[in-house]
Structure 1
Amino acid sequence: MLDTLPLSRKQLRSVVQASARINLWHGAVRSGKTIASLLAWLLAVAEAPPSGLILVVGRSLQTIERNVFEPLADPALFGPVAAQVRHTRGATTATVLGRTVHLIGAADARAEGRLRGLTASLAYVDEATLLAEGFWVQLLARLSVPGARLLATTNPDSPRHWLKGSYLDRAHELDLKAWHFRLDDNPSLSEAYVAALAAEYVGLWKRRMIDGAWVVAEGAVFDMYDEQQHVVDTLPPMRRHWLGIDYGTTNATSAVLLGLGTDGRLYACAEWRWDSRTAHRQLTDAQYSARIRAWLDEQTVVPEWTFIDPSAASFTVQMWNDGHPGIARANNDVLDGIRSTATALDSGLLRIHRSCSGLLDELPAYAWDPAASERGEDKPIKRDDHSVDALRYAVHSAAHEWRHLLPVPTAQGVS
C-alpha cells in the first residue's frame, strides 16, 4: 500500500506512529489527513486482536460511506487492498481484510445508546468534532480489549471545543498522539487546486479549513463588509434572479431579490420588508403572499426560484396555492450559508443596492454570539437578522449556480 500512495513524510510518520490508545489527525480540509488515517486504520485492522468489535463511526451512515468506504475501495488509492474492502451501500456492516466492521451513525447524543453493552478493540471516527462529547466518552469506555485503539480525523473547530480542551490540549497527560496538517502538507494536490480551494474560504473558515487552526468566532460575522466597496447606486441588466424570504410573525418578514448581472457579479437588487413591531400590525399569510407578489410585479421580475425559510410551512403553502412559481425550501445550514455569503462578499462577487435599507442596517451589526463561543459553538446573535437571513437563503441555496464565478488567486499567493 505504501508504494501506491504519494505520501509526505508527515503522513508516513503518522501512519507508523499511530500506536497510542487515541490517535488523532486534525487540520485543514484536503490536507492529506484522511488518507494517512485510513492507511493507519487498515494496518490496525490487520493487527487487531480477534476479540472485540471493530467500529467505524461518523455523523451518519452516508458520511461514513462517502468519507471512509469510497476511498478505501478505490484501487487507485489503496491498490490491491481495495479488493478486500466490501460494503453494500446502506448496510451497517462491512468486511475489511476479512474482518467484520460495524458502522455507527452518531447524529446526536441519543446515539450513545448504540454503544451500550458492546466491547471493541478498534474504532475509526470520521469528523470527531461533529460527535457529541458523551458519545465520544462512551466510545472510549467501550475500547476495553487490551491494546485497543481509537483513530480519528477532524477539521478544526472552536478552541473551546471539548475535543481540543479535554483531549488535544491534554495530550501530554493522556495516551494520545496527534498530528496537525495544513493544506500544503498534501503532496497530491496541484497548485491550481490549492489556489481554487483557498478562494472558497474567508475569515474564520480560511484559518480553520486552509491553515488548520483552532480559532474562535468573534466580532462581526461579515468583517469583510465595506459600504464603500459593496454598496452600489445603479445596477447592470440582470440575466437571472432568485428570491430569499425570511418569514416572521412578531418579527420582521423580509424578501431579498438576488440577481446575476451581465457583468458576472451577484447583486442584492431589491428588498421587501414588513416589520409588525414598527407597523403595529401583523399580516396574514395570504396578505404577505399578495404583497410580495405585487412587489415582484413592480420589479417586473419572476425569480427562477424562491427560497423560503424552511420553518414557514403555512406561508410556503400559501405561496404555492397562490400560484407563485419555483418555490423551494431554503438551505438553512446557518454556518455554511454564512460562509457562502462571506465568500461572495470577500471576493468582490456580491454587491448590494442602496435601496436595500433593512439589509444595509443589519449587515454591519451581525455578530458572533460570545456566550456561544465560550461554549465552543459558532452561532450568530439572533437579533435584527431577518434581511441578512433572506440574503443568506438566496445566496447559499443558489451557490451551485455562481461558485464558478469566484476569482481564483494565483498559486504564488497561497501559503
Structure 2
Amino acid sequence: MLDSLPLSPKQVRSIAHATARINVWHGAIRSGKTIASLIAFLIAIAAAPSSGLIIIVGRSLQTIERNVLDPLQDEALFGPVARLVQHTRGATTAVILGRTVHLIGAADSRAEGRLRGLTACLAYVDEATLVPRGFWNQLLGRLSVPGARLFATTNPDNPGHWLRKEFINRQGDLDLRSWQFQLDDNPALDPKYVASLKAEYVGLWYRRFILGHWVQSEGAIYEMFDAEQHVVRNIPHITRWLCDAIDYGTVNPFADLLIGLGADQRLYVVSEYRHDSRAARKQLTDAEYSAARRRWLAAVPHPQAGNVVGVRPEWTIVDPSAASFIEQLHRDNTPSVMPADNTVLDGIRGVAGLLAADRLRIHASCTGLIDELPGYSWDDEAAEKGEDKPIKLEDHSCDALRYGVRTTEALWRPHIPTLMEVAA
C-alpha cells in the first residue's frame, strides 16, 4: 500500500510514529495529512485487539462518508486494499479489513450519549475541531482497552481552541504526538493546482488553510474591500438574476440584496431594499415586508436594457431563523423560496475570495451594504475564547450578502474564474 502512493518524508514519519494514545494530524487543506492518517488507521485496524469497538467520528454521517470512507474505497489511492472497505450509503457501520467499524456523527453535545456504555480499542476523528469538547472527553474515556489509540485530523482553527490549548500544546505532558502540515508538504498535487489554491485563499484563511497556522481572527473581516474598486455606478448586462437574499429584522433593519451574474463573469449586487424600523419609527409586518419586496423588485431596471424594469430572481433566499416570514412568502405565492445556508465562516470566506479577485462588485445605490462592509469586524472577546465570530452589530446587509453568495454558489461558481485564472 505504501509503495503505490507518492508519500512525503513527513507523511512517512507520521505513519511510522503514530503509536501514542492520541495522534493528531493538523494543518493546511490538501496537505496530505488525511492520507497519512488513513494509512496509519488501516495499519492500526489490522493490528487491533479483538476486544473493544473500532469507531470513526465525524461532524455527521455524510462527512464521514465523504472525508473518510470514500477515500478509503478509492483504488487509485489504496489499490487492492480499497476492496476491503465495505459500506452501504447511510448505514452506521462499515466493514474495514474484516472488522466492523461504527460510524458516529457528533454535531452537538447530544452526541455524547452515543458513547455511553461502550468500550473502544481504536477511534478515528475527522475534523476534530468541530467535535464538541464533551464528546471528545467521553471518547477518550471510552478508549480503555490496553493499547487503545485515537487518530484525529483537523484544519487549524483559532489558537485558543481547546484542542490546541489543552492537547496539542501539552503533548510533552500527555501520551500524544502531532504533526503539522503545509500545502507544500503534499507531493501528489499538481503545481498548477497548488498555485491556484494559494491564490484563492486570502487573509485569515490563507494563513490557516495554506500555511497551516493556528492564527487568531482580528480586525476587519473584509480587509480587501476597496470602495474605489468594488463600488460601481455602471453594471453590465446581467445574464442570470440569481437571487434576492434577505436578512430579516423587525426591530433591527430588514435587508434584501438583489444579486446577479454579469456578462463580465462577476457577481453584482444590483439593488438593495432596506427598512430600518428605528430610523423610520415604524415596524412592518411580514405581509408588509412581502409586499414591499414585490414593489421593489418590480421597479428594478435591467442594466444595459433601456427602459426594461422588473426582476424575477431565480431564488429568494431568507434568513433561516425567519420562519414566519418564509411562511408569508409562501402564502403570497413567491416562487423558489429557500432558507439560507448560514455556515458563517464558509460564507465569509466565499465573499472575501470574490472581493480579493475583483469578482464581486456593488452598485452605488446599495448604501446599507456599502456602509456596513468597512466596519464588519471579528469579535475580539469571542477570539479570546477560541471562537471565530463577527461582531453582531451593523451587519444586516453583510449577512444578506453571505447568504446569497454561499447559497447560490453552485449556480455561479462554474462561470466565475478562479483567482489564478484572473491573474493569468
Q: Which interval holds the TM-score relative to the shorter structure?
A: over 0.9
Question: 1:182-201 maps to which residues of 2 (within 5 A)?
Answer: 182-201=182-201
Query: What TM-score do the two structures reach when normalised by structure 1?
Result: 0.96
How much has 1:159 moved relative to structure 2? 0.3
C-alpha contact (below 8 Å) 1:257/1:268 kept by paired residues: yes
C-alpha distance in structure 2 between counterparts of 1:163 and 1:260, whole Å: 41
C-alpha contact (below 8 Å) 1:192/1:411 kept by paired residues: no
Classify 1:92/1:326 alpha carbon distance in 2 versus 1 (closer, same or farther; 3 Å). Answer: closer
Q: Write the deviation string for residues 143-202 of structure 1: whole angstroms up to 9, x where unpaired.
A: 111111111111110000000000111111111111111111111111122233234322
How much has 1:53 moved relative to structure 2? 1.4
C-alpha distance in structure 1 between counterparts of 2:351 and 2:85, whole Å: 40
C-alpha distance in structure 1 between counterparts of 2:234 and 2:97, whole Å: 64
C-alpha distance in structure 2 between counterparts of 1:43 and 1:24, whole Å: 16
Matched, 1:321 2:331: yes
Q: Write the deviation string for residues 365-405 of structure 1: whole angstroms up to 9, x where unpaired.
A: 11111111111111111111111111111111112222341
What residue is the counterpart of 1:294 in the other structure? Answer: 295
Matched, 1:52 2:62: no
Question: 1:365-376 maps to which residues of 2 (within 5 A)?
Answer: 365-376=375-386
| Count of aligned pairs | 413
Query: What TM-score do the two structures reach when normalised by structure 2?
Result: 0.94
What residue is the counterpart of 1:309 in the other structure? Answer: 319
How much has 1:17 moved relative to structure 2? 0.9
Question: 1:204-215 maps to which residues of 2 (within 5 A)?
Answer: 204-215=204-215
Matched, 1:387 2:388: no
Q: What root-mean-square deviation, in Å, do the aligned CA atoms of Structure 1 and Structure 2 show?
A: 1.7
C-alpha contact (below 8 Å) 2:320/2:339 kept by paired residues: yes
C-alpha distance in structure 1 between counterparts of 2:111 and 2:373, whole Å: 38
Q: 156-165 vs 94-103, which deviates more? A: 94-103
What residue is the counterpart of 1:179 in the other structure? Answer: 179
Classify 1:229/1:331 alpha carbon distance in 2 versus 1 (closer, same or farther; 3 Å). Answer: same
Given candidates 402, 407, 414, the residue that maps to 2:418 is: 407
Does the residue aligned with 2:258 lie in a helix, a strand or coil? Answer: strand
Question: 1:79-228 maps to which residues of 2 (within 5 A)?
Answer: 79-228=79-228
What residue is the counterpart of 2:369 in the other structure? Answer: 359
Structure 2 letter corresponding to 1:50: S
Classify 1:347/1:410 alpha carbon distance in 2 versus 1 (closer, same or farther; 3 Å). Answer: closer
Q: Write the deviation string for residues 305-355 of structure 1: whole angstroms up to 9, x where unpaired.
A: 111111112212222222333322221111111111111111110111111
Structure 2 letter corresponding to 1:399: E
How much has 1:59 moved relative to structure 2? 1.0
C-alpha distance in structure 2 between counterparts of 1:120 and 1:83, whole Å: 25
C-alpha contact (below 8 Å) 2:32/2:186 kept by paired residues: yes
Structure 2 unmatched runs, 5+ = 301-309
C-alpha distance in structure 2 between counterparts of 1:337 and 1:412, whole Å: 23
What residue is the counterpart of 2:239 in the other structure? Answer: 239
How much has 1:410 moved relative to structure 2? 7.5
Classify 1:270/1:163 alpha carbon distance in 2 versus 1 (closer, same or farther; 3 Å). Answer: same
**After TM superposition, where is structure 1 displaced by more than 4 Å over at least 4 residues in a row?**
410-413
Does the residue aligned with 2:361 lie in a helix, a strand or coil? Answer: strand
Does the residue aligned with 1:117 lie in a helix, a strand or coil? Answer: coil
Does the residue aligned with 1:179 lie in a helix, a strand or coil? Answer: strand
How much has 1:411 moved relative to structure 2? 12
Structure 2 letter corresponding to 1:295: W
Structure 1 unmatched runs, 5+ = none
What residue is the counterpart of 1:10 in the other structure? Answer: 10
What residue is the counterpart of 1:63 in the other structure? Answer: 63
C-alpha contact (below 8 Å) 1:249/1:276 kept by paired residues: yes
C-alpha contact (below 8 Å) 1:86/1:94 kept by paired residues: yes
How much has 1:407 moved relative to structure 2? 3.4
Does the residue aligned with 2:4 lie in a helix, a strand or coil? Answer: coil
Q: Write the deviation string for residues 251-303 of structure 1: whole angstroms up to 9, x where unpaired.
A: 11111111222222211111111011111111111111111111111112211
C-alpha distance in structure 2 between counterparts of 1:160 and 1:402, whole Å: 35
